[in-house]
Chains A and B, each alone.
Chain A
Amino acid sequence: MTTTATPSRTVRRRRAVRRGSGLRLWTWLVIGWLLLPIAVMILFGFNDTSGKVNFTWQGFTLTWYEHLFAIPNLTDALLNSLGIGLVVAVVATLLGTPIGMALGRYRFRGRGSVDLLLFAAIAAPEIALGAALLSLFIILGVPRGYGTVVVAHVAFCIPYVAITVRARMAGYDPTLEEAARDLGAGPWTAFRLVTLPMLLPGVVSGALLCFALSVDDYVITSFNAGRTVTFPLWVYSAARTGVPPQVNVMGTLIFAAGLLVAGANVLLARRRAG
């Protein structure tokens, strides 16, 4: 009975292979689906279209790379985004890193509530954060603009830095710093020479994450930007009438820069490990 009911070993293996390859095909289909809009973005940056309607393929051109900055307010929006991203990355990293270190290193009263605060800030839907801050600024009569966007972005970035740094602290051995102190290093020197270098990859990834989140953010920005226009805001408002190819080119360049930074990060991590 057993010999007839159970399929032979080769049949079973063949079936397993077939089943595995079905999932593999599915995975590749999903990856294709995920990458399709990116391919379209890159491709339509080379589209020889006239004017703002960039929906159908008209032939290959490099003209949009040449005239990348031909639309002054789009260029301004991009510069605004990059500038805001830079300030936000610095401020949020300065504020978030110590939180991550404290959470990773000390057990203290109130630790749980700090955890909860970070969790709530990450879990709350963006629109609620944006609307709540806008309400505050309306009540206080603060005019919305560049500054309020920075304030808003720093607020939603702090938890991400804190969590990234805390994850890095998980592998940290506090006796190293104590050893440095025993060898005569003051608290600041021990921090600078022992703790900081160990922490640095976490801090750098936190800062990069902030920059990326800030440059990409639409929802919170749209609530608090006033008349200031950032790159995502510009693209959003253009989406109804037609997005000019320069947007595709800028998107492509940001994509390429992101890949370069990510690649460099991986290489550095490998070199450090090896």
Chain B
Amino acid sequence: MSRPPARRARRRPVAALAPYLMVLPGWLWLAAFFVAPVLVMLSLSLQTGDFIDGFRQTFHVGTYGDALATYHTQLVRSLLYGGAATVCCLLIGYPVAYWIAFRAGRHKSVYLFLLLLPFFVSFVIRTQSWNVVLADNGVVLGPLKHLGLLPGDFHVLATPYAVIGGLAYNFLPFMVLPVYVALERVDPRLLEAAADLYAGRAATFGRVVLPLSLPGVFAGVLLTFVPASADYVNAAILGGPSTTMIGNIIQTEYFTNLDYPGAAALSFLLMGTLLIAVFLYARALGTEDVLEVAAR
């Protein structure tokens, strides 16, 4: 009879350690291959030298200025394209999320599944498919040109529209899902209450539904804007020389120009800008909500 308490007492220090032991292996992996690399990249961005003679730590901050001076066009363009794609996603996606949340009835999960279907196809293949659809003499433009409805040199590919369209296409579900989650949480009794207080449909939407859905909109904006601005696959496959985004530059700097400090500085400029924005948003929202949405 005296045994169980003794056992329990012995178990306690282990129990206190348990969460740490469980977190440790994965934490070490992330520390080694996520946190450390970011610090190494920071250090690399402050080194000088070249590929052949090697690089040395000189804390040369000027690399950042040079990188900005040379590539500010592409950095600004990335933010503009990312922003434009995010606005498109919001305008296209909000009504969809609204309709599914309030009008789709029993079939909500079917519609959500249809919205997620693109994720069952590889990102690169989806983008490449648009390349086929929008090709200069492809299935859409070919017949139109043949009928003389479009001039022969008309093209969509290699224009900003193709890149922004591709970005909006690829990241739309990241906007629809969080907005849907927020709208789904709106208590229908609030809508009835608004109607009882003689609010018209526009007033009900503007003063009840829209404010309640704003956390979802914020989350959706983040989840769309960050990856869209940093993306370079769409610009590479659907764009041309005049639509180069900062991601394309970073890749070229690393692999073609072998200018590691410059590339690291550019990555850091991009990541810094975007991460600061994310954490400001996350603080305003509470990270738990954003994480929950991100995990979907």
Does A116 sit within 8 A of B, measured CB to CB? yes
Question: With a CB–CB cut-off of 8 A, which chain B residues contact A135?
Answer: 37, 40-41, 44, 260, 264
B60-82 contacts to A (CB < 8 Å): none
Contact A236 B236, beta carbon cutoff 8 Å? yes
Knowing A40-B132, A41-B121, A102-B19 are in contact, say whether A131-B264 is a contact too (CB < 8 A).
yes
A217 nearest in chain B by CB position = B123
Whole-angstrom distance between the alpha carbons of A193 and B274 in the complex?
45
Query: Which A residues are in CB contact (< 8 Å) with B222?
Result: 123
B125: CB under 8 A from chain A? yes
Interface size on A, residues (CB 8 A): 90
Contact with A along B223-242 (1 / 0, CB 8 A): 00011011111001100000
Whether A125 lies near B27 (C-beta < 8 A) is no
Taking CB atoms, residues of chain A closer than 8 Å to B20 are 102, 108, 110
Determine whether the beta carbon of A131 is less than 8 Å from that of B263.
yes
Count A-B contacts at CB 8 Å.
Answer: 255
Q: Is the CB of A132 within 8 A of B37?
A: yes
Q: Known contacts A37-B130, A243-B128; decide if A27 and B95 are in contact (CB<8 Å).
A: yes
Collect the chain A residues with CB atoms within 8 Å of residue B96's CB: 26-27, 30
Tell me if B6 is interfacial: C-beta within 8 Å of chain A.
no
User: Is B48 part of the binding interface, using a Cβ–Cβ cutoff of 8 Å?
Assistant: no
B287 and A116 form a contact (CB under 8 A)? yes
| CA distance in complex: A160, B296 (Å) | 9
Q: Does B53 contact A (CB under 8 A)?
A: no
Chain A CB within 8 A of B203 CB? no
Contact A34 B98 (CB under 8 A): no
B-chain residues with CB within 8 Å of residue A134 when the two chains form the complex? 254
Residue pair A218, B295 in contact (C-beta under 8 Å): no
Chain B residue at minimal CB-CB distance from A223:
B254
Q: Which residue of chain A lies nearest to B103 when distances are taken between CB atoms in the complex? A: A20
Decide yes or no whether B154 CB sits under 8 A from chain A. Answer: no
CB distance from A77 to the nearest CB of B (A): 12
Among candidates B19, B131, B169, B229, residue contacting A34 with C-beta atoms closer than 8 Å: B169
Contacts of A116 in B (CB 8 A): 287
Nearest A residue to B248 via CB reads A127
Query: Would you call B291 an interface residue if the criterion is a C-beta within 8 Å of the partner chain's C-beta atoms?
Result: yes
Contact string against B for A residues 104-119, beta-carbon threshold 8 Å, 1 for contact and 0 otherwise: 0110101100111111
Q: Does B49 contact A (CB under 8 A)?
A: no
Q: Is B38 engaged at the interface, CB distance under 8 Å to the other chain?
A: yes
State whether A30 touches B290 (Cβ < 8 A). Answer: no
Q: Hey, which chain B residues are within 8 Å of A20, CB to CB? A: 99, 103
Chain B residues within CB distance 8 Å of chain A? 18-23, 25-27, 29-30, 33-38, 40-41, 43-44, 92-93, 95-96, 98-100, 103, 111, 113-115, 117-133, 135, 137-139, 142, 169, 172-173, 201, 222, 226-227, 229-233, 236-237, 247, 250-251, 254, 260, 263-264, 267, 270-271, 274-275, 278, 282, 287-288, 290-292, 294-295
The 6 closest A-B pairs by CB, nearest first: A125-B230, A37-B129, A98-B22, A132-B37, A95-B26, A128-B271
Give 15 new A-B contacts, CB below 8 A, not counting A135-B260, A154-B33. Answer: A27-B100, A31-B115, A34-B118, A34-B173, A55-B132, A55-B135, A124-B34, A124-B275, A128-B270, A158-B26, A160-B295, A236-B237, A239-B237, A254-B120, A262-B113
A residues lining the B interface (CB < 8 Å): 19-20, 23-24, 26-27, 30-31, 33-38, 40-41, 44, 54-57, 94-96, 98-99, 101-103, 105-106, 108, 110-111, 114-129, 131-136, 138-139, 151-152, 154-155, 158-160, 162-164, 167, 212, 215-216, 218-219, 222-223, 231-232, 235-236, 239, 243, 247-248, 251, 254-255, 258-259, 262
18 A-B pairs with CB atoms under 8 Å apart are: A23-B98, A27-B100, A40-B133, A55-B137, A56-B139, A94-B25, A121-B30, A127-B247, A129-B37, A135-B41, A135-B44, A215-B122, A218-B124, A235-B125, A239-B127, A243-B128, A251-B122, A258-B120
